[in-house]
Amino acid sequence: MKRLLVVAASALALAGPAMAQSGGQSGPQGAPRVDVAAANRTEAAIPPPVMSETRHTGVFGGQRIAYRAIAGETYLKDKEGKPLAAMVSYSYIKEGPTDPNRPVTFLWNGGPGSGSLWLHMGAFGPKRVVVPSDARDDGAAPFPIIDNVDSLLDVTDIVFIDPIGTGFSRALGKTDPADYWGVTKDAKSIAEFIRLWLNEHGRWNAPKFIGGESYGTTRSAAVINELEGSYTDVSINGILLISSILDFSLAADAQGNELGFVTTLPSMAAAAWYHDKVPNKPATVEEFVAEARAWAIGPYASALLKGNALPADERATILQQLSRYTGISQTYLSNANLRLSPGRFYKELLRDRGLTIGRLDARYTGVDYDNAGDRPDNDPSFYGIDGAYTAAMNAWSREGLKYSPDVVYSSIGGTRNWDWNLPTAGRGGAEYLNVAPYIGRALRENSGLRVWVGQGYYDFATPFFGAEYSLNRPGFPTDGRIEWHYYHSGHMMYVREDDLKKLSTDIRTFIRNR
């Protein structure tokens, strides 16, 4: 990439005199000449990519580590070498003699349309922002930004990537940003960046891990298909799936789609347990969730599939059990035809207390404009943390890393009209997006690949039982290369201090055991 900077700068310098000579003069017979300067103005206005490199030290995993931080732009180019987009990344690389066995881990968040600030400033970067661990609102600035002793820098170099349209990453010149806004288009751009990064840093033979959170797990599956699904493979040692969503049929709240009710039920049981809505509740959430799993995939799934043919006595039994697992009254559940959508659950569970619960993390509670609605006004688990993370990301990038572009950092929502279509990921087509088969194929074709999965019990954005269902289908090896970890929090389990430490320890062990 350093060479690319020099080439780009030289090209601009050489272009100057040529454009000055072309001017806007007329030809010999008064015919207007082509104004080359005007025609190329958009491309010529694109400056070389900006990078900032700083040096730091910190204690991570009990070790004092000196590291370089490289923040800035990598240009994605067309076949003629014209810059199309600037992808911004933050690389943290251990100083000292080169270790060919030291891993590098590429991380991103989800959305789609979210920057990597959540994993960067909440979990694995060298600094992190502290938010209340007990599911309270983050309040207002100043927010505490501290050294992150739980960063993974003791076991791996880390590269945080902001996809195009997120963070500071953006399309350049006349490029339509929608060229990067889609499952496959986005994955291709990330895979291209990874190859460019490996070129620049000479790390092609290093152990390599990729990972993401939420839609970032969808992206991880699509990226590994781009990296390993051709004859120019980039072999990956491990995938980190944090709060996984691979099969979107499980998230479809549509009439006739029964499977989503089954895979969400254990999360409802966990939330009911947490908020003391379960009579004679078991001592641990794990125990209650285990009961709910077995019931959901057995009697409950059977009852839903029977539909209107469900006998009255069986319906009465199912209604009673469903009320026990969800904490919702039998009358309400009967009116809902035994099918409780997540949105209704968020509103109904604590209606008697005048509260709603969070979607990203059901531990959080909120107060709506009134208590009569069918669904909450907003998600208290999102507005409870977003201010702190946005402030911390801007402060660390602009002040700590000296990378401060004159654009707004887009935390989330920077993409529109996402293209959810993709080439068939298996035999036949699919109405809903399902990228799980990409991971299954990668595991079958790469015997050195392992998958790490982490799920929060109180996460409704990506319910844990849905992740289990997606990765236990035909086509996935059963040789123990998929490992599971669970946390007593929600979608972003690292906002809870105890879970941050467990998450860091679990992933550190996974990387060491490569």
Of 9-23, 146-160, 415-429, 481-495, which gets the smallest average pLDDT?
Answer: 9-23
Which DSSP symbol is given to 94?
E
Assigned domain for 29 exists: no
pLDDT in tens, 199-208: 999 999 999 9
- Say whether pLDDT at 277 is over 70: yes
The CA-based diameter of the chain, rounded to the nearest angstrom, is: 96
The closest of 63, 69, 16, 71 to 44, measured between CA atoms, is 16
pLDDT band for position 233 (cuts 50, 70, 90): confident
Assigned domain for 106 exists: yes
C-alpha to C-alpha distance for 37 and 41, rounded to whole angstroms: 6
Mark whether 102 and 239 lie in a shared domain.
yes
pLDDT band for position 122 (cuts 50, 70, 90): very high
pLDDT in tens, 339-362: 999 999 999 999 999 999 999 999
- Say whether pLDDT at 261 is over 70: yes
Cβ-contact 180, 87 below 8 angstroms: no
pLDDT band for position 414 (cuts 50, 70, 90): confident
How many percent of the chain have pLDDT more than 70? 89
Assigned domain for 3 exists: no
What is the pLDDT at residue 28? Answer: 36
Q: What is the mean pLDDT of residues 185-208?
A: 97
CATH number of the domain encompassing residue 405: 3.40.50.1820
Instruction: Point out which residues pair with 363 in neighbouring strands.
Output: none
C-alpha to C-alpha distance for 187 and 356, rounded to whole angstroms: 36
Assigned domain for 395 exists: yes
Mark whether 101 and 235 lie in a shared domain.
yes
Domain boundary among 331, 362, 383: 383
Domain boundary among 383, 402, 429: 383
pLDDT band for position 429 (cuts 50, 70, 90): low
- Say whether pLDDT at 84 is over 80: yes
Of 77-86, 151-160, 385-394, which gets the smallest average pLDDT?
Answer: 385-394
What is the pLDDT at residue 138? Answer: 77
Assigned domain for 345 exists: yes
Mark whether 59 and 146 lie in a shared domain.
yes
What is the pLDDT at residue 221? Answer: 98
The closest of 125, 121, 142 to 56, measured between CA atoms, is 125
Mark whether 85 and 187 lie in a shared domain.
yes
Which run of H or E residues covers position 507? Answer: helix 497-512
C-alpha to C-alpha distance for 323 and 348, rounded to whole angstroms: 12
Of 26-40, 78-92, 281-295, 316-330, which gets the smallest average pLDDT?
Answer: 26-40
What is the pLDDT at residue 44? Answer: 58
Instruction: Point out which residues pair with 60 in neighbouring strands.
Output: 63
- Say whether pLDDT at 74 is over 90: yes
Cβ-contact 501, 392 below 8 angstroms: no
Mark whether 135 and 155 lie in a shared domain.
yes
How many percent of the chain have pLDDT more than 90? 81
Mark whether 309 and 422 lie in a shared domain.
no
What is the pLDDT at residue 133? Answer: 78
What is the pLDDT at residue 387? Answer: 87
Cβ-contact 492, 243 below 8 angstroms: yes
Domain boundary among 383, 409, 441: 383
Mark whether 58 and 175 lie in a shared domain.
yes
C-alpha to C-alpha distance for 398 and 207, rounded to whole angstroms: 31
**Which residue carries 């251990």 as its tokens?**
94
- Say whether pLDDT at 308 is over 60: yes
What is the pLDDT at residue 37? Answer: 43
- What is the domain count for the chain? 2
Cβ-contact 496, 488 below 8 angstroms: yes
C-alpha triplet 379, 384, 390: angle, nearest 5°: 115
Which range marks the domain in which residue 191 is found? 52-249+386-512
Of 145-154, 385-394, 477-486, which gets the smallest average pLDDT?
Answer: 385-394
Q: What is the mean pLDDT of residues 137-149?
A: 90
Of 3-12, 260-269, 273-282, 501-510, which gets the smallest average pLDDT?
Answer: 3-12
Assigned domain for 13 exists: no
Global pTM? Answer: 0.89
C-alpha to C-alpha distance for 437 and 143, rounded to whole angstroms: 41
Assigned domain for 32 exists: no
What is the pLDDT at residue 27? Answer: 38
Mark whether 90 and 218 lie in a shared domain.
yes
Average pLDDT, the chain: 90
Mind spelling out the 3-state secondary structure of 320-345? HHHHHHHCCCHHHHHHCCCCCCHHHH
Mark whether 350 and 498 lie in a shared domain.
no
Assigned domain for 67 exists: yes
**What are the distances in angstroms from CA 45 to CA 12, 237, 283, 385, 468?**
9, 41, 64, 38, 50
- Say whether pLDDT at 31 is over 70: no
What is the pLDDT at residue 428? Answer: 52
pLDDT band for position 399 (cuts 50, 70, 90): very high
Mark whether 208 and 303 lie in a shared domain.
no
- Say whether pLDDT at 494 is over 80: yes
**DSSP track, 460-505:** SSS-HHHHHHHTTSTTS--SS-EEEEEESS-SSGGGSHHHHHHHHH
Mark whether 222 and 117 lie in a shared domain.
yes
What is the pLDDT at residue 424? Answer: 61
Mark whether 407 and 337 lie in a shared domain.
no
What is the pLDDT at residue 2? Answer: 40
